[in-house]
Structure 1
Amino acid sequence: MFKRLTLALAFTLPISLISPLKAHATLIPPTFQFTGAGYGHGVGMSQMGARSKALAGESAASILSFYYKDVALETVDDTKILRVNIGHQLTSARMLTRTQGATMQIFSGDIGDAQGLQPLAIIPAMSSLNFSVLGSTVIPSITTGKNSSSIPSNRVFTVRWSGTRYLAGVDGIMSLSHANRKSNFRYGQVQVRAIKAGSLGFRLAITNTVRLADEYLWGVSEMPSFWPTAALEAQAIASRTYALSKAGVIRSACDCDLYGEITDQKFLGHAKEIEKKWGVVWKAAVTNTAGLVLTQAGKPITAWFGSSSGGITETALNAWGSERAFTHSVEDAASLDPVLNPNFYKWDRSITQSIVATAFLLPDVVNLEILTRNPSGTVGMIRATASNGRQISIRGETFRSRTKIPSAYFNLVGVQNAVEPAPSPSS
Structure 2
Amino acid sequence: MDTAVANSFPQNSALNFAIAGKLITGPGGIGRTWIIKWNNSQSVISVNFGKTKFLVSHGYIQLKAVNAPGLGFRIEATNWLRLHDEYLYGIAEVPSSWPAAALQSQVIASRTYALMRMNSIKKACDCHVYNSKYDQAFVGYSKEGEPRYGHLWKAAVDATAVDAGSGLAITINQLPVSVFFSSSSGGMTQRAVDVWGTDIPHLENVADPWSIDPAVNKNYASWTKKVSQKVMAKAFGFKDVIEVRLGERTATNSVLNVTGVSSDGKSKTLPVGIFKSAVKMPSSWFELITLN
**TM-score category of the 2 structures, normalised to the smaller one:** 0.7 to 0.9
Whether 1:320 and 2:199 are equivalent positions in the alignment is no
- Taking the TM superposition and a 5 Å limit, the aligned residue runs for 1:286-365 are 286-290=157-161, 291-351=167-227, 362=237
Whether 1:397 and 2:284 are equivalent positions in the alignment is no
- Show the counterpart of 2:164: none
- Taking the TM superposition and a 5 Å limit, the aligned residue runs for 1:264-275 are 264-275=135-146
- Taking the TM superposition and a 5 Å limit, the aligned residue runs for 1:348-387 are 348-351=224-227, 362=237, 366=241, 368-384=244-260
Compute the displacement of 1:383 (Å).
3.6
Call closer, same or farther: CA 1:179–1:377 in 2, change over 3 Å: farther
Assess if the C-alpha contact under 8 Å between 1:220 and 1:269 holds in 2.
yes
The total of aligned residue pairs comes to: 284
Whether 1:276 and 2:147 are equivalent positions in the alignment is yes
Q: State the SS of the aligned residue for 2:195.
A: helix
- Among 54, 66, 79, the alignment partner of 1:194 is 66
Compute the displacement of 1:346 (Å).
2.2
C-alpha offsets along residues 80-106 of structure 1, whole Å, 9 cap, x if unaligned? xxxxxxxxxxxxxxxxxxxxxxxxxxx
Assess if the C-alpha contact under 8 Å between 1:175 and 1:184 holds in 2.
yes
CA distance in 2, matches of 1:386, 1:350: 19
Aligned partner letter, 2:205: S
- Show the counterpart of 1:127: 14
Q: Which has the larger radius of gyration?
A: 1
Compute the displacement of 1:377 (Å).
2.5
CA distance in 1, matches of 2:290, 2:274: 22
Compute the displacement of 1:196 (Å).
2.8
Assess if the C-alpha contact under 8 Å between 1:313 and 1:332 holds in 2.
yes
- Show the counterpart of 1:232: 103
State the TM-score, normalized to the length of structure 2: 0.81
Compute the displacement of 1:351 (Å).
4.3
Compute the displacement of 1:272 (Å).
0.9
Call closer, same or farther: CA 1:241–1:402 in 2, change over 3 Å: farther
Assess if the C-alpha contact under 8 Å between 1:133 and 1:204 holds in 2.
no
Assess if the C-alpha contact under 8 Å between 1:220 and 1:267 holds in 2.
yes
Aligned partner letter, 1:187: H
Flag structure 2 segments of 5+ consecutive residues without an equivalent: 162-166
- Show the counterpart of 1:251: 122
Flag structure 1 segments of 5+ consecutive residues without an equivalent: 1-107, 112-117, 143-149, 164-168, 417-427
Assess if the C-alpha contact under 8 Å between 1:196 and 1:203 holds in 2.
yes
Aligned partner letter, 2:190: E
CA distance in 2, matches of 1:348, 1:386: 23
- Show the counterpart of 1:56: none
Computed over aligned residues only, the root mean square deviation of the Cα atoms, in angstroms, reads 3.2
Call closer, same or farther: CA 1:345–1:271 in 2, change over 3 Å: same
- Among 214, 218, 238, the alignment partner of 2:89 is 218
Between stretches 406-415 and 225-234, larger displacement belongs to: 406-415
Whether 1:175 and 2:46 are equivalent positions in the alignment is yes
Q: State the SS of the aligned residue for 1:175.
A: strand
Call closer, same or farther: CA 1:336–1:131 in 2, change over 3 Å: farther
Aligned partner letter, 2:14: S
Q: Greater share of strand residues, 1 or 2?
A: 1
Assess if the C-alpha contact under 8 Å between 1:226 and 1:281 holds in 2.
yes
Compute the displacement of 1:160 (Å).
0.8
Call closer, same or farther: CA 1:383–1:235 in 2, change over 3 Å: same
Call closer, same or farther: CA 1:297–1:401 in 2, change over 3 Å: farther
Compute the displacement of 1:348 (Å).
2.6
Call closer, same or farther: CA 1:398–1:253 in 2, change over 3 Å: farther
Q: State the SS of the aligned residue for 1:286.
A: helix
C-alpha offsets along residues 98-148 of structure 1, whole Å, 9 cap, x if unaligned? xxxxxxxxxx64x6xxxxxx62566653424244576xx355456xxxxxx
State the TM-score, normalized to the length of structure 1: 0.58
